[in-house]
């Protein structure tokens, strides 16, 4: 069993900032005082809710992360309660009447697609919440829809094919190598150390295997063999801030290509981050903000990019509207933000400040 985001020793592994300027987030301490009580909602999970062990393992860290988030909020003098995302979530919230819900619910009954019921119920109940709304989560849980919207907004994404049925022939104009991903699951679920396929025949076998194992459609995507870049967007209510870091991998999982596999999540030394320099940084930042808005993301999100150095093209491969959010430096969003001298305490204070301003107007 592996931890999706192994904890890092924050005293020893602070990301290198390389002299880059600190990003200043909008934080209004007086506005924060408008928030008296916050609920941190998190995924309730059990093994039998998930089709495979690795799908279950991808979610096991969420309760501990929710506890860490609650502790950060308590530092601001705000009362906090942890509430599991199960069939009693809305009833509990209607009784508790929090000023704000920090929505960390990734799955309900083991299904990412049910995420949308959380913002839907909160909007019906007029309870403010953080993270993407229904539209953003519908899009974020569907790689096919995400990629089609990226194309519509002129944001580069690798050539791809959506496959629903085993035996469907892979289009041979996609270009090799290929990688097969689940259409409706986040992170690297289903992407092992041998995920990149060098032939159409190998990719075909992987497609059929994943369709049977996970019982959901898949995306066959051209694998861009260039640097992998983590791009994070944070909306503080005044500006969309962009943080990014290029992954420097310790080894090639398959001996041929650098990429993030689910096995790598159990290795704190799998990769480190370095800053992305100009002019690439500005090019990616503009595209990331466009994607953030086009895909109906809210508050914060993470994008995975493969950069083709031959054509100088940043290809957006994945979008995570409610990416793993918490103070541990093992979380990509937190680690990349720290490269810009932005701590999780800064992020949570800024987010609460934004919602505190909204409460003062209501």
Q: Which of 200, 222, 244 is the last residue of a domain?
A: 222
| Average pLDDT value over all residues in the chain | 87
229-249 average pLDDT score: 96
Residues contacting 268, CB < 8 A, separation 6+: 6, 7, 8, 13, 330
Largest CA distance in the chain: 61
Residue 64 domain boundaries: 20-130
Question: How far is Cα 326 from Cα 17, in angstroms, rounded to an integer?
Answer: 20
Question: How far is Cα 238 from Cα 76, in angstroms, rounded to an integer?
Answer: 21
Q: In this predicted structure, what is the pLDDT of residue 47?
A: 62
Residues 215 and 119 reside in one and the same domain? no
Q: In this predicted structure, what is the pLDDT of residue 22?
A: 80
CATH code of the domain containing 211: 3.30.1490.20
Whether 260 maps to a domain, the answer reads no
Q: Is the pLDDT of residue 108 over 70?
A: no
Residues 44 and 106 reside in one and the same domain? yes
CATH code of the domain containing 122: 3.40.50.20
Q: Is the pLDDT of residue 8 over 50?
A: no
Q: Is the pLDDT of residue 14 over 60?
A: no
CA nearest to 278, candidates 16, 13, 14, 21: 21
The conformational region for residue 237 under phi > 0 = left, psi -120 to 50 = alpha, else beta, is left
| pTM of structure | 0.88
294: its two tokens: 């086009």
Whether 55 maps to a domain, the answer reads yes
Q: C-alpha 66: how far from its chain's center?
A: 15
73-97 average pLDDT score: 93
pLDDT band at 17; cut points 50, 70, 90: very low
132-157 average pLDDT score: 95
* Top-confidence residue, 65 or 293: 293
Q: C-alpha 18: how far from its chain's center?
A: 25
Residues 111 and 42 reside in one and the same domain? yes
Whether 168 maps to a domain, the answer reads yes
Q: Is the pLDDT of residue 3 over 60?
A: no
Whether 236 maps to a domain, the answer reads no
* Top-confidence residue, 245 or 362: 245
Q: In this predicted structure, what is the pLDDT of residue 15?
A: 43
pLDDT tens digits for range 145-181: 999 999 999 999 999 999 999 889 999 999 999 999 9
Q: Is the pLDDT of residue 186 over 70?
A: no
Q: Give SS3 for 40.
A: strand
Q: In this predicted structure, what is the pLDDT of residue 64?
A: 84
Residues 123 and 28 reside in one and the same domain? yes
Q: In this predicted structure, what is the pLDDT of residue 255?
A: 85
Residues 183 and 82 reside in one and the same domain? no
Question: How far is Cα 160 from Cα 105, in angstroms, rounded to an integer?
Answer: 29
Under a CB-based contact definition with an 8 Å cutoff, are residues 221 and 196 in contact?
Answer: no
Residues 179 and 111 reside in one and the same domain? no
- E strand residue ranges, the chain: 37-43, 79-85, 100-104, 160-163, 178-182, 196-197, 218-222, 228-235, 240-249, 271-274, 300-308, 313-320
Q: Is the pLDDT of residue 68 over 50?
A: yes
The percent of residues above 70 in pLDDT, for the chain, comes to: 85
Report the DSSP pairing between strands 300-308 and 228-235. Answer: antiparallel
105: its two tokens: 């619910």
The conformational region for residue 198 under phi > 0 = left, psi -120 to 50 = alpha, else beta, is alpha
Q: In this predicted structure, what is the pLDDT of residue 330?
A: 86
Q: Is the pLDDT of residue 234 over 70?
A: yes
Q: In this predicted structure, what is the pLDDT of residue 322?
A: 92
Q: In this predicted structure, what is the pLDDT of residue 325?
A: 94
Burial class (CB in 10 A: 0-12, 13-18, 19+), 358: middle
> Among the ranges 32-36, 170-174, 182-186, which has the highest mean pLDDT value?
32-36
* Top-confidence residue, 192 or 306: 306
Q: In this predicted structure, what is the pLDDT of residue 53?
A: 63
Whether 344 maps to a domain, the answer reads no
Whether 258 maps to a domain, the answer reads no
Question: How far is Cα 95 from Cα 356, in angstroms, rounded to an integer?
Answer: 21
The count of structural domains within the chain is: 2
Q: Which of 184, 205, 222 is the last residue of a domain?
A: 222
185-194 average pLDDT score: 75
Q: Which of 222, 238, 253 is the last residue of a domain?
A: 222
């Amino acid at each position: 069993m592996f931890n999706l985001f192994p904890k890092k020793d924050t005293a020893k592994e602070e990301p290198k900032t390389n002299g880059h300027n600190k990003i200043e987030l909008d934080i209004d301490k007086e506005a924060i005082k408008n928030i008296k009580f916050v609920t941190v909602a998190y995924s309730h999970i059990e093994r039998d809710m998930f089709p495979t062990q690795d799908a279950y393992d991808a979610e096991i860290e969420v309760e501990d992360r929710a506890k860490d988030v609650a502790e950060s909020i308590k530092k601001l003098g705000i009362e906090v309660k942890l509430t599991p995302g199960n069939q009693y979530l809305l009833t509990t919230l209607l009784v508790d009447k929090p000023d704000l819900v920090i929505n960390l619910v990734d799955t309900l009954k083991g299904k990412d697609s049910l995420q949308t019921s959380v913002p839907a119920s909160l909007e019906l109940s007029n309870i403010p919440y953080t993270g993407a709304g229904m539209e953003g989560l519908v899009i974020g849980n569907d790689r096919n829809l995400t990629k089609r919207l990226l194309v519509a907004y002129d944001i580069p994404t690798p050539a791809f094919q959506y496959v629903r049925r085993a035996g469907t022939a892979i289009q041979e104009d996609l270009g090799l190598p290929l990688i097969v991903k689940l259409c409706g699951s986040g992170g690297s679920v289903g992407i092992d150390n041998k995920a990149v396929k060098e032939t159409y025949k190998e990719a075909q076998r992987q497609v059929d295997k994943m369709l049977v194992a996970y019982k959901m459609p898949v995306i066959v995507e051209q694998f861009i063999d260039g640097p992998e870049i983590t791009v994070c967007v944070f909306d503080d209510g005044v500006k969309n801030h962009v943080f990014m870091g290029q992954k420097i991998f310790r080894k090639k999982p398959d001996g041929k290509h650098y990429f993030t596999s689910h096995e790598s999540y159990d290795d704190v030394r799998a990769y480190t981050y370095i800053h992305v320099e100009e002019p690439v940084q500005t090019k990616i930042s503009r595209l990331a903000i466009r994607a953030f808005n086009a895909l109906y993301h809210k508050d914060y999100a993470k994008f995975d990019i493969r950069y083709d150095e031959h054509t100088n093209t940043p290809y957006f491969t994945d979008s995570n509207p409610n990416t793993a959010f918490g103070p541990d430096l093992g979380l990509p969003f937190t680690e990349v933000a720290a490269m810009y001298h932005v701590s999780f305490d800064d992020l949570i204070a800024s987010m609460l400040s934004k919602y505190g301003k909204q409460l003062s107007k209501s």
